[in-house]
Amino acid sequence: MKKQLLIALSVLLLPACADKEQYQQAVVEQIQKDQQLQKEQHVKDYAMEPEHLAKCVVDTSSKNMPGIFPLDPARLTAYRNYTKMLTLSKSADPKKTLEELRTDFGSAKALAEANANFTESMLDCYAAIVSETEEDVKDK
């Protein structure tokens, strides 16, 4: 009985982890893209690891996503939608994908709120990591 429950739980957890990982990977790619375009000089100036910054952004933005807990189906859908939002520029038909995103999020306003959540999370994480870096320098 315990083995069956463990197997059933594992089957549910694997896709959930994959959705969050895909979102985190999309954030890393966005950070690296911004860094290459020199939009975000902070990453270089403060020697931020894109992966560390991405983890912070995912954790921070997740707090304002739908769903009560990390494995909530609404949260998993949000991870997929945020990933799709971040990879919009890679789409073969960005206009069609944008319309799909509006539908996926429920409205253009909800999509704008998700984009704002992502942006605010990114800024909050920049501030947090810069503070960490400055404290480390001060301690040395």
Average pLDDT on 82-101 reads 94
Quote the pLDDT of residue 11: 47
pLDDT at 53 over 90: yes
* Alpha carbons 51 and 33: distance in angstroms, whole number: 13
Question: If we measure between CA atoms, which residue out of 123, 97, 118 comes closest to residue 24?
Answer: 118
What is the domain range of residue 53? 2-139
Task: Convert the pLDDT of each residue in 6-45 to its tens digit.
Answer: 454 444 544 556 889 999 999 999 988 887 777 666 677 7
Kindly report whether the global pTM for this prediction surpasses the value 0.85.
no
Average pLDDT on 58-73 reads 89
Quote the pLDDT of residue 136: 65
Task: Convert the pLDDT of each residue in 96-133 to its tens digit.
Answer: 999 999 999 999 999 999 999 999 999 999 999 988 87
User: Which conformational region is residue 104 in: left (phi greater than 0), alpha (psi within -120 to 50 degrees), or beta?
Assistant: alpha
Tally of domains in the chain: 1
Inter-residue contact 28 to 52 (CB < 8 Å): no
